[in-house]
Amino acid sequence: MSGHRLQDALETLKSTRVRMTPQRHAILEFLFESMTHPTADDIYKALEGRFPNMSVATVYNNLRVFKEAGIVRELTYGDSSSRFDSVTSDHYHVICNECGKIVDFHYPGLDEVETLAEHVTGFKVLNHRMEINGICPDCQTKAKQH
Ligand SMILES: [Zn+2]
Ligand SMILES: [Zn+2]
């Protein structure tokens, strides 16, 4: 499944004339296979063994290129570093308060919220983000063992 989406992303990049390099390919592959919403730093750590000349800044710049091409989404969290999502269709996130893991889940889009927000505030609404916080199954198990 992830192989299919990766292939689509590669096609999209080709059509936007983004030059494919081994580094870019590896970053994309990691993003699409891990499904963990990694930070640029996570990706850097996972790939530095294969690309000794790569820096976190390089990873970040590549992610920006992917974002502009519309194949990844950036999730910003205030002052902490951004996480990157290879699923660009609408979905919601549940976040573990203990380990910070982000898991996707699907729920009918809450379009009414946008309409209402537009109505009440006069904003031109572009999108919305809903996040559920909790403790993931792994962390629940860990807590029980202590
Ligand atoms: Zn957790
Ligand atoms: Zn996601």
| Residue-range domain boundaries for the chain | 2-85, 92-145
Q: Which of 98, 87, 82 is nearest to 41 (CA)?
A: 82
Q: What is the largest CA-CA distance in the chain?
A: 53
**How high is the pLDDT of residue 2?**
58
Ligand nearest the Cα atom of residue 100: 1
| Pair 97, 142: CB distance under 8 Å | no
Residue 37 labeled ligand binder = no
Specify the CATH superfamily of domain 92-145: Ferric-uptake regulator, C-terminal dimerisarion domain (3.30.1490.190)
Q: Say which DSSP state 135 is in.
A: -
- Could you say which of 1.10.10.10, 3.40.50.300, 3.40.1440.60, 3.40.50.620 is the CATH number of the domain covering 2-85? 1.10.10.10
**How high is the pLDDT of residue 106?**
85
Higher pLDDT, 129 or 72: 72
CA 94 / ligand 2 centre spacing (Å): 9
Give the global pTM.
Answer: 0.79
Q: What is the pLDDT of residues 102-118, one digit of tens each?
A: 999 888 878 899 999 99
> What's the mean pLDDT in 50-74?
93
CA 9 / ligand 1 centre spacing (Å): 29
**How high is the pLDDT of residue 80?**
66
| Pair 55, 41: CB distance under 8 Å | no
**How high is the pLDDT of residue 5?**
85
| C-alpha atoms less than 13 angstroms from C-alpha of 124 in its C-beta half-sphere | 0
